[in-house]
Every structure is written in C-alpha cells, then in structure tokens.
Amino acid sequence: MTDVLPSAVEAIGATPVVRLDRITRGLDGTILAKLDYLNPGGSKKDRVARRIIEEAERVGALKPSQPVVELTSGNTGTGLAIVCGVKGHPFTAVMSRGNSRERARMMAALGAEVVLVDQMPGSIPGRVAGGDLELVEAKARELTAARGAFRADQFHHDGNWLAHRDGTGEELWQQTGGAIDGFADFLGSGGTYAGVTKALKGHDPAIRCFAVEPAGAAVLAGQPVRNPGHPIQGGGYSMSDLAYLRDVPIDGFVQVTGEEAKRAARRLATEEGIFGGFSSGANLAAALQLLQGEMRGRTLAVVMADSGLKYLSTDLWPEC
C-alpha cells in the first residue's frame, strides 16, 4: 500500500510489469508488458504531460494560470487535461477529426477545450497521416499565439523523452532486476523509444532496442511510403526526422501491418486480460516477430501504451 496522495498527478507512473506467458506459450522466449494504460489518463502520455508542465513551471516558461495549448492524437491531451486541471492552467487540445471520438470526449470531460481539425481531402477517418498532423500543427500554432499560451510541444520538448528515461525505462530496469535482452516500441513522437533506450542502455549497452513502424509507412527504416493512411492510431506518421531519435541508437527495425496490430490487441484482451489500444497491439506484434527471429530465446519488454476503452467506436473492436 502507498500513502494517500495529494492529487491524481502523483499517481502517474510506477505502473506494473506482467509476463505474457499465455500468448508466448509454445514460443522460445519471454515478453514483458509494462501496463502504462493504468495511468490516471489511461496512457503512457500522462508521464510526458506531467514532466513537460512541471519543468516549464520550474524554469518560469509557464506562468501561474497561463493557458496551455498542444496538438494531440488524444493521449498527451488527456494527460495535459489532468495535469493542467490540477495545477490551474486552462488547456486547449487540438486534434484531428480522424482520431477516435472517445479521446475528444474524455479530454472535454476532464475540462479541456477540444478543437477538432478536419482531415486533408481524401483522408480516411480513423487513419491520421502526416499531412493531417500538419494541419493540426498549424492550428495549434495559431491558437498558441492568439491566446498567449504555453505550447507543450510534445514532439520537441525534452520533458517527453526525459519522462521515459527517468520513469518508464528506469522502472523497467528496477522491476525486472535488469533481466531484459531487448525493447521494442511503436514510434509516434519517438519519446518513449528514446527515453527507455537511453535508460536501459545506460545500465547495459548490450540490450537491443527496436523501432516499430507500420508496414507501408516505415520511413525510418528507409522504405518508401506506400500506405500513409494505416489504421494504427497514435503514431506511424511517416516523419523521417524525429527530434528525439537523432542521438539514440536503433539496433533494428520492425514493421507491422494494421491487421497484425489489431489481432495482437485482441489477443492481449482475450488471453491476458490486458485491454490495450492499437499501438499496444503493434508492440506485441513486433515482439512476437522478434521472438520468432533474431531474439529467439530472449526476454523482450514492451509498453502497453493506452487503453482499449479509447477505441470502442473503431474497428479495433468490431464486435462491440
């Protein structure tokens, strides 16, 4: 048991790690899943929101009661809604209409103003591509200037990767006693991959870290973009220059299809009781590939990035 906490912000982090022994039955190796969907806002991005806001307050970049604006696919926005609500900062989330409506409703319920931006002509609802994100970025910049707001800037603020280095990665090392051979992560901003990789390799440089991208949109692996409108929400934006990865080693690349991510997410739910979203499924699908290939017989860690509750209106759960 822990002490009584002063706010929900203090409940962010220290998430459990579980072995996926039912899914790996018959395979040679182990997958460890860090359940970051159990954070108060239902995702790993709660860590990022807290670190960015507290660091900005500490250095004076964010004044008392100053508004905060950020672009989001929904998870960082949810974390920011929680942190800003507790700390007294009005928060505006700017999000593409291509993201699931549960995310917008959750942020609004937590007190955020949610500004939805139309997708590019021809874009598919539920499939946010890089061009859609550029439209959201333009609107976020406009609102930041108009309101004299602090821009949380999750794609460039060091609080993103630092939250995962000092939190997620260090927790993984301590919880496993260092018994990790590899780590795989589906790339959005790249903050989780960068932070966890720096933490783990800081303890043991032999740990192999793999960047996971959507099949058909694996630009960091040097492949041509054939499917920018993949269904794996929250990442895979075909961005070839992710700021957090510029000085971070990548030991290998893994591609997963949207269908593979969906099947893996459904297996997490039915076989392990873990109700994760698209990127959690992508992480599991990648880990299964690795266990059947170059990481056979090893122990791999992945992050369960967000909750499946945020996708009930999507085809991730078509039977619902």
Length of the chain: 320
Residue among 181, 244, 250 nearest 213 (CA): 250
Catalytic residue among 45, 87, 201, 262: 45
Are 8-40+159-311 and 45-151 equal in CATH topology? Answer: yes
Domain edges within the chain: 8-40+159-311, 45-151
**Fold assignment, 8-40+159-311:** Rossmann fold (3.40.50)
Local confidence pLDDT in tens for the 320 residues of the chain: 568 999 999 999 999 999 999 999 999 999 999 999 999 999 999 999 999 999 999 999 999 999 999 999 889 999 999 999 999 999 999 999 988 888 899 999 999 999 999 998 878 777 777 788 889 999 999 999 999 999 999 999 999 999 999 999 999 999 999 999 999 999 999 999 999 999 999 999 999 999 999 999 899 999 988 888 788 877 887 777 888 999 999 999 999 999 999 999 999 999 999 999 999 999 999 999 999 999 999 999 999 999 999 999 888 988 75
Q: Is 240 a catalytic residue?
A: no
The structure tokens 């099949």 sit at 215
Given a contact cutoff of 8 angstroms between Cβ atoms, the answer to whether 15 and 36 are in contact is yes
Report how far residue 298's alpha carbon sits from residue 181's, in angstroms, rounded to the nearest whole number: 6
CATH architecture of 45-151: 3-Layer(aba) Sandwich (3.40)
Q: Is 7 a catalytic residue?
A: no
